[in-house]
């Protein structure tokens, strides 16, 4: 296998992981900051409120973006298997 191909596949794997996890992580971060500001303003120190809102938000984002995330992951998998077949490692 060519070292450039291995580096390309590794780079694409990191890009795919970042791309597919970005919507979930961003939504959890935004909700976490908003809940923290709300708790600071109201002096409410309830840990479950933040967790429940984050879990609900992550679930909604997964329902909205789940299909797209799966398409990105499948495209990357097909690309990797295509490279394997071109090199001669596939069955």
Structural domain harbouring 42: 22-78
The answer to whether the beta carbons of residues 64 and 24 sit under 8 Å apart is no
Residue 89 lies in a domain: no
Indicate whether this model's pTM tops 0.85: no
Residue 84 lies in a domain: no
The tens place of each residue's pLDDT in the chain, 91 residues long, gives 688 889 999 999 999 999 999 999 999 999 999 999 998 898 888 888 889 999 999 999 999 999 999 999 999 999 999 988 888 765 5
Q: Residue 38: which of 60, 59, 25, 53 has the closest Cα? A: 53
Residue 41 lies in a domain: yes
Residue 90 lies in a domain: no
Residue 37 lies in a domain: yes
Can you read off the two tokens belonging to residue 60? Answer: 């909604």
Residue 4 lies in a domain: no
Domain count, the chain: 1
CA gap 35, 32 in Å, rounded: 5
């Amino acid at each position: 296998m060519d070292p450039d191909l291995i580096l390309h596949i590794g780079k694409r794997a990191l890009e795919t992981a970042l791309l597919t996890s970005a919507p979930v992580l961003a939504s959890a971060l935004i909700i976490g900051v908003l809940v923290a500001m709300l708790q600071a303003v109201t002096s409410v120190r309830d840990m479950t409120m933040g967790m429940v809102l984050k879990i609900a938000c992550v679930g909604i984002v997964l329902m909205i973006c789940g299909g797209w995330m799966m398409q990105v992951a499948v495209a990357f998998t097909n690309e990797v298997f295509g490279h394997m077949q071109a090199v001669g490692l596939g069955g």
